[in-house]
């Protein structure tokens, strides 16, 4: 199951297009696009996207391990990815994440920014479609997995949309928000469905919930002690797209990403070191890192710090550097 398959690429355009599209449903995209939205576009849009993304992804990951539908058989399918091959197939969480992020971004911005409705709808549709098709091209999902994931995500968006302003308000203003944001995700991670063999779904779910928890605590702190974040208007000034504006946007992004990646590296090393000392295993022991008592705190603490850094420390650094 872990061996690499041999294949010949006959159409490099489709190969690189769908390999790139597949990356739009993975950590590399989450850790860049979601913070970019917060730093450069709109705080309220970013908050709503993170709320929807974390709920949709948790339901998708748990559904996989409850349904236990296998991935496509290989052969005849050629699989171009191996990391997630140990996971079950239905629903496709790539399809769920792409649908949730693209359409929540479209819905949250269509009343705040002036752009053609048809253009925004088409962009969301193209984005989610490319990610969905990439899962078929890479051999990781069946058509039913992809359609099921997109439909589940769309249904959750319909259910969440009437309440997301209320949820956002509570997360910003409730005195119980920090406790709720940490305890509930931790309980969900420790009570994740048990499998007969190891799958990265629990670790990935912990990563997502940890990042959302840290970001939510950051939102609350910013609203309580910095500037009020509960507004339907853009937090960032709506400046024309001049060269100087683009320089500030790129400076905020690259400075922030550098700090976020440094935080992730430092916290991974520190938390694994502490857990290794506590449970007596070397940091390179992959099997030990897969144990529940190690994997959940290791990933949750690391990525909650990443979420907190992105929403609190990076904006403070931007202010100190005069990038706001």
In the chain the first and final C-alpha atoms are separated, in Å, by 49
141 is an active site residue: yes
Do 229 and 222 contact (CB within 8 A), yes or no?
yes
Query: Annotated catalytic residue: which of 43, 94, 169, 318?
Result: 94
Distance CA 51, CA 54 (A): 6
Distance CA 230, CA 165 (A): 10
| Cis ω before 91 (30° cut-off from 0) | yes
What one-character DSSP code corresponds to residue 162?
G
Cβ-based burial of 7 (10 A; exposed 0-12, middle 13-18, buried ≥19): exposed
Do 286 and 211 contact (CB within 8 A), yes or no?
no
User: How many residues are recorded in the chain?
Assistant: 324
94 is an active site residue: yes
Distance CA 280, CA 255 (A): 37
Catalytic residue positions, numbered: 94, 141
């Amino acid at each position: 199951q872990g061996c690499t398959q041999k294949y010949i690429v006959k159409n490099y355009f489709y190969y690189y297009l769908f390999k790139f599209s597949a990356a739009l449903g993975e950590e590399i995209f989450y850790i860049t696009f979601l913070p970019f939205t917060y730093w450069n576009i709109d705080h309220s849009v970013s908050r709503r996207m993170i709320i929807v993304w974390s709920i949709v992804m948790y339901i998708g990951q748990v559904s996989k391990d409850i349904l236990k539908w296998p991935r496509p058989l290989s052969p005849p399918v050629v699989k171009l990815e191996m990391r997630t091959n140990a996971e079950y197939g239905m629903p496709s969480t790539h399809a769920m994440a792409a649908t949730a992020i693209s359409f929540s971004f479209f819905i949250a911005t269509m009343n705040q920014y002036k752009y053609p409705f048809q253009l925004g709808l088409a962009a969301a549709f193209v984005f989610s479609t490319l990610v969905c098709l990439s899962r078929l091209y890479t051999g990781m999902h069946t058509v039913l997995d992809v359609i099921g994931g997109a439909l589940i995500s769309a249904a959750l968006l319909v259910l969440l949309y009437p309440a997301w302003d209320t949820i956002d308000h509570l997360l910003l203003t409730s005195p119980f928000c920090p406790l709720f944001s940490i305890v509930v995700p931790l309980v969900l991670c420790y009570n994740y469905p048990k499998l007969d063999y190891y799958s990265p779904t629990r670790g990935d779910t912990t990563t997502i919930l940890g990042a959302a928890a840290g970001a939510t605590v950051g939102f609350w702190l910013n609203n309580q002690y910095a500037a009020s974040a509960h507004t339907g208007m853009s937090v960032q000034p709506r400046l024309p797209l001049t060269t100087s504006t683009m320089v500030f946007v790129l400076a905020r992004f690259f400075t922030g990403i550098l700090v976020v990646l440094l935080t992730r590296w430092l916290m991974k090393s520190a938390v694994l070191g502490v857990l290794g000392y506590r449970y007596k295993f070397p940091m390179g022991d992959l099997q030990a890192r897969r144990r529940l008592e190690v994997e959940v705190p290791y990933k949750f603490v690391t990525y909650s710090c990443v979420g907190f850094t992105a929403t609190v420390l990076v904006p403070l650094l931007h202010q100190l550097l005069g990038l706001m």
